[in-house]
Amino acid sequence: MELETIIGLEIHAQIATNSKMFCSCSANAYNAEPNENTCPVCMGFPGQLPVINAEAVRKGAIAAMALQCTIPEYSKFDRKNYFYPDSPKGYQISQFDKPLSEHGKITIRVNGEDKVIGITRLHLEDDAGKLTHVDRGTLCDFNRAGVALMEIVSDPDMRSAAEAAAYAKEIQVIVRYVGASDADMEKGMMRFDASVSLRPKGDTKLYSRAEIKNLNSFKTLEAAIEYEVGRQRKLWEEGKPQDKDITVGWKEEKQATYFMREKEGADDYRYFPEPDLPPLGLSEAILNELRSSLPELPAVRRGRYIRDFALSEADVELLTEDKDLAAYFENTLKVATHDPKKVASFITTVILRFLKEDAKDIDECPVSPEHLGELLNAVESGKISNNMAKGEIFEEMYLKGKSPLEIIKEKGLEQVSDTGEIEKIANEVLAAHSDQVAEYKSGKIKVFGFLVGQVMARMKGRANPGVVNDVVKKLLG
């Protein structure tokens, strides 16, 4: 039987706010002492009243717009009741039947093909605390309890682990573009739950699924989906497909999923409207203001780069992934007036390599776009060779933050295109290598490269290779 894989993703992303979702505690759990950022509201003390964080709402809404969701006139908050030690309130404040936004979509690209993935909803909620299991018990750190989250739920539109990873990656790029979340997975700011099921190909109904909880990297997302597909495929082949929705976890050491529980439905959570919060309305004026502040989205930028700059798909992908990198590229283009392809290639090969070795982001790059533009212009005008630009000169610019023109002058690196000087050296080289010259004249033209190399070496790489070629050819007759 041919089986088809059905995948839907829930993504939790921490909204980039200074304070928590419903209190004024700092939302920066990173680097804080355990339980430093807590107060009676996020600790669920009786009688304490939550207050909605306006910044979280605005950033949630702008992310929703970027995902092309519709934002209804009002939404509301609900209590999702469950008991677990990471939740001091005994419930999570989430949004149940009236979410902040619904019905969006994004386009992903896998194996050179575009595919639209529907977004069911994006809603707001607060996060739980962090539990650390130790020998004699469990440690609770509530710094993260109450931090603002957006939950982005996809339609079950993905058909492979690769599509799921591409979708997750695109969501990360988009929420970062609009400044809604830093989505740093190493800091737990973005987590995935993947629902996976199989069905006979051609069938349209959905069968029982397994929801894999809390995956925290693209790699584990793919690995866990692959594993789950394999496990369920076996059950189908044995004629006893899974007949209940279940929740599973991922064991990194075993690279396998493990059974946690039968999946709880909405009824199990006893949702009811949060009595301490009013409905959340967003005025047309605020929505318009947010809409007009939307930056150029990654998909639009990619299209523009391909159209206007004729860049390769791989370069476009790389340059647009991070909006700061895209800005760096475009700022360089303001100075470097020639082929954008060369600018792109210099950034994606040389600059990204240097930054990677230093574990730096593009906004920490010691070479300014202006200086890079000047460097590339110097190559284009023949002042310096490309190798020199990539090597010695760029290194110096990177280490000392100096302008390329200054370095070229200081070190006397200006490329020599003056035929007189090159001819003088070339004559010396030919005289010193009469054997090779004789070989060349007897038809072994391969030694030509050797002779050119000797001239280049004597001129310490400063000679214009094109001119050297011409001169040596001429002298050899």
Minimum CB distance to Mn ion smaller for 141 or for 151 = 151
Kindly report the CA angle at 463 between 462 and 464, in degrees rounded to 5? 120
Least separation in angstroms between CB 210 and Zn ion: 35
351 binds, among Zn ion, Mn ion, none (CB under 5 to 8 A by kind): none
Nearer CB in complex with Zn ion: 89/323: 89
Q: Cβ closer to Mn ion: 125 or 163?
A: 125
**Contacted by 39, from Mn ion, Zn ion, none: CB < 5 to 8 Å by type:** Zn ion
- 151 vs 315, which CB is nearer to Mn ion? 151
- What 3-state DSSP class applies to 462? coil
Tokens representing residue 60 in the block: 């949630």
151 binds, among Mn ion, Zn ion, none (CB under 5 to 8 A by kind): Mn ion
**Which residues within the stretch 132-151 sit at the binding site for Zn ion (CB under 5 A)?**
none
Q: For residue 267, what is the DSSP state?
A: G
378 binding partner (options Zn ion, Mn ion, none; Cβ < 5 to 8 Å by kind): none
343 interacts with Zn ion by CB under 5 A: no
Shortest distance in whole angstroms from residue 23 CB to Zn ion: 3
**Helix axes 298-309 and 313-320, enclosed angle (nearest 10):** 140
Residue 39 beta carbon to Zn ion: minimum distance, rounded to whole angstroms: 3
Contacts 24+ apart (CB under 8 A), 346-353: 346/372, 346/376, 346/390, 347/319, 347/372, 348/315, 348/318, 348/319, 350/390, 350/394, 352/318
115 Cβ partners below 8 Å, 6+ apart? 107, 108, 109, 157, 163
C-alpha to C-alpha distances, 268 to 10, 76, 197, 264, 308, nearest whole angstrom: 19, 20, 22, 6, 54
Closer by beta carbon to Zn ion, 43 or else 287? 43
Q: Does 452 bind Zn ion (CB under 5 A)?
A: no
Residue of 258, 270, 254, 154 lying closest to 213 (CA atoms): 258
Selected from 32, 39, 162, 287, the binder of Zn ion by CB under 5 A is: 39
Read off the tokens for 22: 């419903």
Contacts (CB under 5 A) with Zn ion, residues 5-24: 23
Bridge partners of 108?
115
Least separation in angstroms between CB 146 and Zn ion:
5
By CB under 5 A, the residues from 241 to 270 that bind Zn ion are none
Interface characters, 127-166, with Mn ion (x: CB under 5 A): ------------------------x---------------
Contact at 8 Å (CB) between 169 and 177?
no
The nearest distance, CB 145 to Zn ion, in angstroms, is 8
Pairing verdict, β 210-215 and 246-251 = parallel
The least CB distance from residue 377 to Zn ion, in Å, is: 54
Judged by beta carbon distances under 5 to 8 A according to partner kind, the member of Zn ion, Mn ion, none in contact with residue 11 is: none
23 binds, among Mn ion, Zn ion, none (CB under 5 to 8 A by kind): Zn ion
Please, which residue, 53 or 257, has the CB nearer to Zn ion? 53
Residue showing tokens 């939302």: 27
Q: Which of 13, 42, 93, 378 binds Zn ion (CB under 5 A)?
A: 42
Residue type, 212: I
Q: Would you say 63 or 384 has its CB closer to Mn ion?
A: 63
Rounded distance between C-alpha atoms, residue 403 and residue 152, angstroms: 45
* Nearer residue to Mn ion within complex by CB, 96 or 305: 96
First-to-last C-alpha distance (Å) of the chain: 74
Residues in the chain: 477
Region binding Zn ion by CB under 5 A among candidate stretches 42-50, 122-130, 374-382, 441-449 = 42-50
The site for Zn ion (CB under 5 A) is made up of 23, 25, 39, 41-42
The site for Mn ion (CB under 5 A) is made up of 151
